[in-house]
Amino acid sequence: MTIEERLTLALHDEAERVDPDVGRVYAATMRRLTKPGVRRTGELLWPLLVTVVVLALLVGSAVILQHHWQKTVVPAGTSKAVPAGTSKAGGVSTTFTCPGQITVDDAGRKQDDSFLPSIDVPPHVHVSQDRIAQAAADEVGAPRYSYVENGDDATLRLGNADGSLASVSTFHHTPAGWDLVTTTKCAAADGGILVPVDDPLRLGAHGTKPYPARSMIENPESAVLVDDRSSYDEAGLVKHRTIWASQCGPRICVVGGTPTSMVLPEIKAAQPPGDITSLLLAPDLMVGRTRSLVLWVVYDADRSVSSIVMRLRDGTTLPAKWISGPGWRGRAYFALGRPDEVQSVQVRHRGGTTTTYPAKDITDPNIG
Amino acid sequence: MQAESIDARGRDVTDEPDRFGALFFAHAARLVRLAALLGDDDPEDVVQESFCKLYAARGRLRAEDAEVVSYLNKIVVNEVRGRQRRRQVARRDAHLLTTADTTDPTAVHGDRRAVVEALAGLPLRQREALVLRFWMDLPLAAIADAMGVRIGTVKSQISRGLDVVGAALREGVER
């Protein structure tokens, strides 16, 4: 069988394992539909448009002048209301300050196509082109955006809250709609996506305020900050993630991410080092990326470990950092290094023995 | 007997509830499976929300069946995509239903596990393209419509996704 045939069979096999109770789902849907607020979009559109017009008049002539050139797309058939956006227009730099950029276009430079914004207007949508651009910015959570049309060409810039440029996308208008021509977004210089900092191998905060432990982890009273650093997301926007560790039962829970998106491995005691590098970056962003750092953890519940070091290829060593918090039974050791430099991790026990773990054999604690 | 109903634009919407119910029972199960294959951890909720959105735009119910079904596919794809982007699911390995099943030693079973694992690691658009192509057997234009991208993008996503899945399947054979 070909790969395509095997994939098709496997997908059908997997799909057959999902056996929904359609009657129950239908009943739940109808209950949801009877809640207030579910209306025909046409009924929503006119009050929305009236509100928009009134607000536009109140904002004043400056805004009207800024937007008078915008093309309003007149749809055929029904219309769909677009929810209010959160991205702010304007205030985005026109030049990149990040150390590297990734460009995707139709000329074969498709190194990373995780960000392909669209400003094309679906036939059922009845809003201005600028509003569609704002929706594209909202979709990736860009705090700022700027959108400029020049004839049949358009440029969408997404920016961080401080106005720094995250991405530039250019579009060309054809009879079929707006086609993406090229999109360029921020990245690290080494091909990874960690935002550079002065001391990358130091654990702890790196210039941004960590998300509070109480919003991310159980037993926040026993939580200890492990790390907080920023990375470029799929749209080139700078987003930071926080890693906390706390005691959870007989194990250590380590959570990494944001209050709305996190990964939570549980670390057993007396296990080989576990690879938790994925906590530094959102799991989806790890796919196909260069790993510029590795993060390993060991939970020493009975304090039988005297020290843990990374042995580097040049013969030197780098100590792991241990942390312990209120109510913890033992210590957790965190080793942060560069994957191309670290040869092994050595766990030195108080009895005088040393156990060496080759770096290449260290796996995810949830899998290995 | 159902009363005649005219909406604010003077359109006859008498048959909309019947059409909605018929569409639901005809397509809900398939759409739940689609949402599951796309990696949502609550596919039934995706379908409930999708039909609510269809109901909110129920003027579309007067369109041809194929157009409504195409619209439903697009709603589900967008709903799954929106949820995954907003939440960026916490559990790395909860993208698909991966219940261990050690009683089935067939080659298909081995492929299923390899495919499930490979899909879970794919970028979302590649997974969408593969599922729409090889499970729903949609033509490229319909996939492009459902994903909101151009046909060329669909081709590249399928090609790249197949490379990854193919490697996973070959690796499974070599084990």
Q: A30 lies in a domain?
A: no
pLDDT at residue A125 in the model: 56
Q: B37 lies in a domain?
A: yes
Q: A62 lies in a domain?
A: no
Q: A150 lies in a domain?
A: yes
Q: B96 lies in a domain?
A: no
| Choice among A72-81, A149-158, A315-324 with the minimum mean pLDDT | A72-81
Handedness of CA B13, B15, B21, B23 (dihedral sign): negative
Q: For chain B, what is the domain count?
A: 2
- Say if residue B55 is in the same domain as residue B28: yes
- Say if residue A283 is in the same domain as residue A330: yes
Per residue, the 3-state secondary structure of chain B, as one string, reads CCCCCECCCCCECCCHHHHHHHHHHHHHHHHHHHHHHCCCCCHHHHHHHHHHHHHHCHHHHHCCHHHHHHHHHHHHHHHHHHHHHHHCCCCCCCCCCCCCCCCCCCHHHHHHHHHHHHHHCCCHHHHHHHHHHHHCCCCHHHHHHHHCCCHHHHHHHHHHHHHHHHHHHHHHHHC
Contact between A20 and B52 using a beta-carbon 8 Å cutoff: no
Q: A38 lies in a domain?
A: no
pLDDT at residue A281 in the model: 80
Supply the range of the domain harboring residue A339. Answer: 213-361
Report the mean per-residue pLDDT for chain A: 79
Q: A61 lies in a domain?
A: no
- Say if residue B115 is in the same domain as residue B56: no
| Choice among A49-53, A74-78, A236-240, B141-145 with the minimum mean pLDDT | A74-78
By DSSP bridging, strand A144-150 and strand A88-89 are: parallel
Last residue of a domain, one of B42, B68, B91: B91
Q: How far is CA A245 from the centre of its chain?
A: 21
Distance CA A307, CA A87 (A): 48
Cβ–Cβ under 8 Å, residues A289 and A192: yes
Supply the range of the domain harboring residue B8. Answer: 1-91
pLDDT at residue A73 in the model: 30
- Say if residue A222 is in the same domain as residue A102: no
- Say if residue B6 is in the same domain as residue B73: yes
Distance CA B63, CA A178 (A): 25
- Say if residue A226 is in the same domain as residue A345: yes
Last residue of a domain, one of A187, A202, A234: A187
pLDDT at residue A318 in the model: 94
- Say if residue A183 is in the same domain as residue A259: no
- Relative orientation angle of helices B43-56 and B16-37, to the nearest 10 degrees: 150
Question: Edge to edge, what strands does the sheet with A294-300 contain?
Answer: A274-275, A294-300, A331-337, A321-323
Handedness of CA A56, A62, A65, A70 (dihedral sign): negative
Last residue of a domain, one of A152, A172, A187: A187
- Say if residue A277 is in the same domain as residue A323: yes
* A108 close contact with B: CB closer than 8 A: no
Give the angle A345-A275-A310 at the CA atoms, nearest 5°: 20
Residue of chain B whose Cα is closest to the Cα of A234? B85
Contacts of residue B55, defined as CB under 8 A and 6 or more positions apart, other chains included, come to: A33, A38, B20
- Say if residue A125 is in the same domain as residue A174: yes
Last residue of a domain, one of B91, B121, B151: B91
- Say if residue B118 is in the same domain as residue B157: yes
**Chain A residues touching B136 at Cβ < 8 A:** none
Last residue of a domain, one of B62, B91, B120: B91
**Minimal Cα–Cα distance from A349 to chain B, Å?**
33
- Say if residue B81 is in the same domain as residue B34: yes
- Pick from A4, A22, A42: CB nearest B59: A42
Distance CA B34, CA A93 (A): 41
Q: Of A239, A237, A281, whose CA–CA distance to A263 is shortest? A: A281
Percent of chain A whose predicted confidence (pLDDT) is above 90: 35
- Say if residue B58 is in the same domain as residue B138: no
Q: For chain A, what is the domain count?
A: 2
User: Exposed/middle/buried for A269, CB within 10 Å: 0-12, 13-18, 19+?
Assistant: middle
- Pick from A9, A17, A44: CB nearest B97: A17
**Chain A residues touching B153 at Cβ < 8 A:** 113, 116
pLDDT at residue A123 in the model: 59
Contact between B52 and A41 using a beta-carbon 8 Å cutoff: no
Position A286 confidence tier, pLDDT thresholds 50, 70, 90:
low
The string of pLDDT tens digits covering residues A234-272 is 899 999 999 999 998 888 889 888 887 777 777 888 788
Contact between B111 and A6 using a beta-carbon 8 Å cutoff: yes
Cβ–Cβ under 8 Å, residues A110 and A31: no
pLDDT by position in tens, chain B (length 175): 333 444 334 444 445 556 777 888 888 999 999 999 998 888 999 999 898 888 777 666 666 777 888 889 999 999 898 887 766 544 443 334 333 333 343 444 567 788 888 888 888 889 999 999 999 989 888 899 899 888 888 888 898 888 888 888 877 654 4
pLDDT at residue B61 in the model: 62
| Max avg pLDDT among A2-11, A255-264, A310-319, B98-107 | A310-319
**Minimal Cα–Cα distance from B126 to chain A, Å?**
10
pLDDT at residue B15 in the model: 53
**Chain A residues touching B49 at Cβ < 8 A:** 32
| Max avg pLDDT among A35-44, A119-128, A264-273, B122-131 | B122-131
- Say if residue A342 is in the same domain as residue A244: yes
- Say if residue A221 is in the same domain as residue A335: yes
Q: A53 lies in a domain?
A: no
What CATH code is carried by the domain that includes residue B41? 1.10.1740
Task: Please tell me whether the overall predicted TM-score, pTM, comes out greater than 0.95 for this model.
Answer: no
Cβ–Cβ under 8 Å, residues B76 and B35: yes
The string of pLDDT tens digits covering residues B54-99 is 877 766 666 677 788 888 999 999 989 888 776 654 444 333 433 3
- Say if residue A160 is in the same domain as residue A229: no
- Say if residue B6 is in the same domain as residue B85: yes
Distance CA A16, CA A18 (A): 5
pLDDT at residue A145 in the model: 94
Contacts A–B by Cβ distance under 8 A:
161
What CATH code is carried by the domain that includes residue B130? 1.10.10.10
- Say if residue B131 is in the same domain as residue B56: no
Q: A20 lies in a domain?
A: no
| Max avg pLDDT among A16-30, A113-127, A311-325, B107-121 | A311-325
Q: B140 lies in a domain?
A: yes
Distance CA B82, CA A111 (A): 24
Other CB atoms within 10 Å distance of the CB of residue A330 = 18
- Say if residue A149 is in the same domain as residue A273: no
- Say if residue A247 is in the same domain as residue A357: yes
- Say if residue A152 is in the same domain as residue A278: no
